[in-house]
Amino acid sequence: MAGSGLFQAGSADTQTPATITELRVEDVSAAVTFILGGAASGKSAFAESLCFSSGKPKAYWATSQIFDDEMREKVAKHLAQRGADWTTHEEPFDAAKALGDLQDGQICLIDCATMWLSNHLLADHDLEAETETLLQAIDACRAEIVIVSNETGLGIVPENALARRFREAQGRLNIAIAARAQTVVQVTAGLPLVLKGSLP
């Protein structure tokens, strides 16, 4: 995928993308790959393709909770898209539980960090504490991780306080994960743009 001419952003100067990447990233082993995008941007499909192409045993941390038929249909669609050769961990809250048993040589898709954050927000949990727990679980995980998350900061300021709180928390979470990730990719209209690191 890196060979398709993707622009690897890192500076506004006239250096080549490869040079910029070399200056910004010391380790591009991609132990953590972070995939950002808007709703229906193709980010999940792109993240899944990275896991398929890795050739590693695949795990999936499903963070969603099924409360209605719409979500049930969405989950079923994703299950069919992924196929049967995934080990699925359905865990809406506990990051350590979802990631703690993964082993070297595996790859885990977390889809998605936004749903995980929403679960904690609606449960009135301490978002700062839960975010720290998630980051610690990511740091401790022995498997390669691909994390999907929504970019929610490109629209207008929400009119209600809960939505504004969520948007701020999502932005802070995205910044924290991106800082830890070796590779960060923005997906728009199904097209990946490498923001940090490189793709295999």
Alpha-carbon gap, residue 53 to 61, rounded angstroms = 18
For residue 142, give the 3-state DSSP assignment: coil
CB 184 within 8 A of CB 30: no
DSSP letter at 158?
P
Q: Which one, of 123, 120, 101, 122, lies nearest residue 173 by Cα?
A: 120
CB 91 within 8 A of CB 101: no
Looking at residue 87, its amino acid is: T
Q: Which two tokens stand for residue 18?
A: 């490869």
- What value does the CA radius of gyration of the chain take, rounded to a whole number of Å? 17
Q: What sign for the dihedral angle of Cα 172, 146, 197, 38? A: negative
Element (H, E) at 12: none
Query: Could you say which of 78, 89, 120, 125 is catalytic?
Result: 78
Catalytic (active site) residue 78: yes
Active site residues: 78
